Amino acid sequence: MATSKTSIYTPYGSTLSTGQKDTLVKAMHNGEGTTIRLCSSQLQGEDKLGLTKRQLEHIIKKQREGTGVELKYTKTQLKNISKMGGILPLLPLIFGGLSAAGALAGGAAGVTKAVQDKQANAAAQAETERHNREIEKQLRGSGLRLGRKVHAKRCPTCKGRGLYLSAGRKN
């Protein structure tokens, strides 16, 4: 007969910073374990954390010494703690709010990028049109000319005979 080994988690009041709460939320969301460090002043407070017997003994020892403690949470521990109450059941809601804020920021970034892309495309199109007009001006009037008169004078090189390449009209 198989036996399942489940740990009993004892609620313990501590004071967590926003960054520590975010670390726990991310670890829960990603299904990973994490480590948080609590200084001696954070070892008492309103935020309920589920601790194993060993973690609780370690905290009590460090509290007597007046030093901080490092708590390691496994993914299983975080999963089970979220079911028992305290701060951790609220963390998915907090994380959901952070996700929504991130989505809004991402949406705003997408809109900004679209506007910038449109402006860049419009500038590139305007430059292409300007370039094409300039090239057309340069090419207009070029080609062959009769070797007769140039500006009401006879052409000194052609003497009225043949076809010659023209430099074109200048505008």
| Predicted confidence (pLDDT) per residue in 63-104, tens digit | 888 888 998 988 888 877 766 655 555 555 555 555 555 665
- The single-letter DSSP state of residue 77 is H
Taking residues 45-55, what's their average pLDDT? 84
pLDDT at 57 over 60: yes
Q: Which amino acid is at 57?
A: E
Alpha carbon distance 143, 141 (integer Å):
6
Alpha carbon distance 156, 150 (integer Å):
9
- The domain spans of the chain are 10-101
pLDDT at 118 over 50: yes
| Predicted confidence (pLDDT) per residue in 122-163, tens digit | 999 999 999 988 888 877 765 555 555 555 555 566 555 555
pLDDT at 37 over 60: yes
pLDDT at 123 (0 to 100): 92
Please indicate whether residue 163 or residue 38 has the higher confidence score (pLDDT): 38
How far, in Å, are 72, 84, 137, 150 from residue 145 at the CA level?
91, 96, 18, 10
| Predicted confidence (pLDDT) per residue in 2-24, tens digit | 445 567 888 888 888 888 888 88
